[in-house]
Amino acid sequence: MLQLHFAPNTISIAVAIALNEGNVHYEPIQVDFPNAEQTKPAYHKINPKGRVPVLTTPQGRITETGAILDYLCATAVPELMPADAFQAARARELTHYLASTMHVNHAHKMRGHRWADKESSLEDMKAKVPETMAASAAYVETLIDGPFILGDTVTFADCYLFIVTRWLPGDGVDIDAYPRLRAHHDAMEKRHSVKRAYADGMLTT
Amino acid sequence: MLQLHFAPNTISIAVAIALNEGNVHYEPIQVDFPNAEQTKPAYHKINPKGRVPVLTTPQGRITETGAILDYLCATAVPELMPADAFQAARARELTHYLASTMHVNHAHKMRGHRWADKESSLEDMKAKVPETMAASAAYVETLIDGPFILGDTVTFADCYLFIVTRWLPGDGVDIDAYPRLRAHHDAMEKRHSVKRAYADGMLTT
């Protein structure tokens, strides 16, 4: 059986939602972020990067949200992958942007120590997060056909986008300024996959 | 015919190498980074993010290196994608890590203004790059079966890794401290795809 190491409200919940979309039976394992379990040697044996998600498969462990989602589409939830290569590229383009730009912008609020040492630098980074996250939201807004990214059908990329846009209010960005992001969020909230993530305590309001 | 917007020595050359691996005929279009063409309105019509690569296909444009490489495997260079889903996941896990962590570490040297405003912050970020890039190199070293990432067969992820590891010396990291990265680099340098990238002026020593 698949295992998923997760922490509530983090990007790892995109994987849980994708699994829920396919009603895939799996074992969830919560990593205790409040007690910094992800920084301890025991967890580093599972993921030396000290992050979530980790998907444990019969063949071994996979990290990186985008790679895990692609694997799930190939093995367990094929309905989340567009059949057309160009539409699949659009979905992957968005998840790569979310991973390498928008999530990185977000991380400069609380994880600035990854890239700088001085307290003044960390404060400077933190102050810029509302600006960079608003710019990312404005860009992503242009990529959504509506209500989901590619129109009426949910893809793996929607699971990813839903989690990232949930961070906007905490990053000082009003999601109501982006009508397509707002509609995307609301459409995702109605899905059984997301409702189950709330019921499982993986998402908290 | 496919078009590729590129700039020499940037991550866009991973796409050129993948195209060369399949001997795919395409039109290369150089973006004039020295004159900041990527920041101008004309280029923003091609890519509002002001980055390279952009692959122009008969169906439209694709950005984000990982998404483009996946698209090329699906349409033009299938030999670069592992047939086994778990091995494909290993290759994608690495490209996601390179995009969202190692390339981001590298970007804090010259592009710190993306995430902070004060000159002191930018200097602080720049000073930390040798440390973060060395940590990334040490981690990636553990993922390589050798000589290529998954053993004897080149994948799309090798094209990506080759470009990122070329940045190590400039970032103050000695690649010789990582025997698998060194062997990977040397094995890639011998391939016709990389030799052609040099011959085309896309890579400079």
CA distance A199 to A191: 12
What are the backbone dihedrals phi and psi of residue B150, each rounded to the nearest 5 degrees, phi first?
A: -100, 15
8 Å CB contact of A116 and B125: yes
CB B163, CB B30: distance < 8 Å: no
Residue among A175, A155, A154 at smallest CA distance from A164: A175
In chain A, the DSSP E strands lie at: 2-6, 26-30, 54-57, 60-63
Question: Which tens digits make up the pLDDT trace of A104-140?
Answer: 999 999 999 999 999 999 999 999 999 999 999 999 9
Give B22: exposed, middle or buried? Use CB within 10 Å, 0-12, 13-18, 19+: middle
CA distance A23 to B120: 50
CA distance B22 to B72: 9
CA distance A172 to B71: 35
CB half-sphere exposure, B201, CA atoms < 13 A: 6
Helix H, strand E, coil C: the string for B19-85 is HHHCCCCEEEEECCHHHCHHHCHHHHCCCCCCCCCEEEECCEEEECHHHHHHHHHHHCCHHHCCCCH
8 Å CB contact of A66 and B103: no
Element (H, E) at B4: strand B2-6
Question: Which tens digits make up the pLDDT trace of B65-100?
Answer: 999 999 999 999 999 999 999 999 999 999 999 999
Tell me, rounded to whole angstroms, the distance of Cα B54 from its chain centroid. Answer: 13
Query: What is the identity of the amino acid at A123?
Result: E
Residues A61-79, mean pLDDT to the nearest whole number: 98
B2, B12, B57, B64: best to mutate for the A interface, most A CBs within 10 A: B64
Task: Spell out the residues 6+ positions from residue A152 whose beta carbon is closer than 8 angstroms to its own.
Answer: none
Distance from CA of B182 to the nearest CA of A (A): 22
pLDDT of residue A30: 98
Go through A78-106 and write b for each residue having 16 or more CB atoms within 10 A of its CB, e for each that does not: eebbbeebebbbbbbbbbbbbbbbbbbbb
ipTM (interface pTM): 0.97
CA dist B197 to A24, A174, B38, B201, Å? 44, 45, 21, 6
Pairing between strand B60-63 and B26-30? unpaired
**Is the pTM above the cut of 0.90?**
yes
Residue among A76, A93, A60 at smallest CA distance from A16: A76
Question: Is residue B205's pLDDT more than 90?
Answer: no
CA dist A100 to A24, A64, B2, B155, B170, Å? 28, 11, 25, 21, 21
Contacts of A117 in chain B (CB under 8 A): 124, 127-128
CB B107, CB B132: distance < 8 Å: no
Per-residue pLDDT band at A87 (split at 50, 70, 90): very high
Task: Return the residue of B nearest to A115 by Cα.
Answer: B125
Question: Is residue A205's pLDDT more than 90?
Answer: no
Distance from CA of A94 to the nearest CA of B (A): 8
8 Å CB contact of A70 and B48: no
User: What's the mean per-residue pLDDT of chain A?
Assistant: 98
User: What's the mean per-residue pLDDT of chain B?
Assistant: 98
Nearest CB to B116: which of A66, A86, A128?
A: A128
Alpha helices in A78-178 (DSSP H): 85-97, 103-110, 119-141, 156-166
Contacts of B116 in chain A (CB under 8 A): 108, 116, 121, 124-125, 128
Question: Which tens digits make up the pLDDT trace of B168-194?
Answer: 999 999 999 999 999 999 999 999 999
8 Å CB contact of B117 and A103: no
Question: Which tens digits make up the pLDDT trace of B91-149?
Answer: 999 999 999 999 999 999 999 999 999 999 999 999 999 999 999 999 999 999 999 99
CB B14, CB B163: distance < 8 Å: yes
| 3 state DSSP class of B9 | coil
8 Å CB contact of A115 and B92: no
Contacts of A89 in chain B (CB under 8 A): 62, 67-68, 70-71, 74
